[in-house]
Amino acid sequence: MAGWKMAYHANCWGPLGGDAVGVTSIGRLAYRTFGDMNLAAREIAAAGYKGIEFFDGNVLDGEADDFASLRRTLAETGLALVAVYSGGNFIFADVLEEELARIGKAADAAQALGAEHLVVGGGARRLSGARSGDYDALAAALDKVVAIAEARGLKAQYHPHLSTIVETPAEVARIFEKTAIGFCPDTAHLAAAGGDPAALVTGHAARITYVHLKGWRRDPFTFVPVGEGDCDNGAVIRALKAIGYDGWICNELDAWPDPAAGARDSLRFVEAEAAKA
């Protein structure tokens, strides 16, 4: 498959959320899947994947004992930890130091466990809407994330996300004019925001060293396996082949009645489309 290595995100094996204490303590705020990460890894490996991505909260749970349980899980399943996902508001100067310190801890964990990528989302959208200076603040913060990652031998990626100030194609272009960080396209989020994910891959090819493929259905709004719904991931796969992409691809699905089946279905779709491309 064009040299691609396939990973899957562990976020489907339980409800998604964050650490509630982060509401009052920015330095403790992290993403989290409230589920069995060992089970997720076993089923991801059994589905045929070679790598896995975790949220920062799930990884940082193991820092007290040098990630012994997670190291054992990775060794037993043969999976590589490809990426750790974190994020922040990034536009509020008073809390930025705390946010970056927390992301630094996630990067430390990623480095210790041999990951290649540090992926961040964020860029808070104010209740009153985005202000022009918010993009400059976000870009400056993302450049600091790049420095955090590079100091640990990691590649930093920015993941545009619904509910942030970087959703639409114009907003994606605006932020990448201001920051050097890599681009981790999440195809479902890009499509749901009105974008053409394949065109965005082509237009930002030089920035892409890691990819999230996800399916999305417009009505009712829901995320689905990669080959289903209204996001043309087949076109994305053709675009990735056309630009000569040869890195990791992480299939992702936020919630599904049978997570293992969703992982298998998504992998089969990518393999079939890659073979046709």
At 64-112, the pLDDT tens digits run: 999 999 999 999 999 999 999 999 999 999 999 999 999 999 999 999 9
Whether 3 shows a pLDDT value over 80: the answer reads no
- Mean local confidence (pLDDT), 170-182: 98
User: What's the whole-number average pLDDT of the chain?
Assistant: 97
| Whether pLDDT at 239 is above 60 | yes
Q: How confident is the model at residue 174 (pLDDT cuts 50, 70, 90)?
A: very high
Q: What is the pLDDT of residue 20?
A: 86
In angstroms, rounded to a whole number, what is the distance separating the alpha carbons of residues 223 and 221?
Answer: 7
Cα–Cα distance measured from residue 34 to residue 267, given in angstroms and rounded to the nearest whole number: 24
193-209 mean pLDDT: 98
Reference 39, options 79, 67, 4, 68; nearest CA is 79
Q: According to the 3-state scheme, what is the secondary structure of 168-218? A: CHHHHHHHHCCCCCEECCEHHHHHHCCCCHHHHHHHCHHHCCEEEECEEEC
pLDDT at 70: 98
Q: Is residue 2 pLDDT above 80, yes or no?
A: no
Q: Which of 26-30, 147-151, 198-202 bottoms out in mean pLDDT, i.e. has the lowest?
A: 26-30
Other CB atoms within a 10 A radius of the CB of residue 170 amount to: 10
Region of poorest pLDDT, from 17-31, 33-47, 120-134: 17-31
Please give the single-letter amino acid code of residue 252.
E
State the pLDDT at residue 154.
98
Instruction: Calculate what percentage of the chain has a pLDDT beyond 70.
Output: 99
Q: Which domains does the chain have, with CATH numbers?
A: 5-276 (3.20.20.150)
CB atoms within 10 A of CB 237: 30
Closest CA to 139 of 90, 103, 184, 98: 90
Confidence band for 133, pLDDT divided at 50, 70 and 90: very high
Tokens of 244: 């000569």
Residue with token string 């995320």: 223
The reply to whether the predicted model has a pTM over 0.95 is yes
- For residue 235, the model assigns a pLDDT of 98
pLDDT value for 1 = 56
Tokens of 193: 């925001």
What pLDDT, on a 0 to 100 scale, did the predictor assign at position 260? Answer: 98
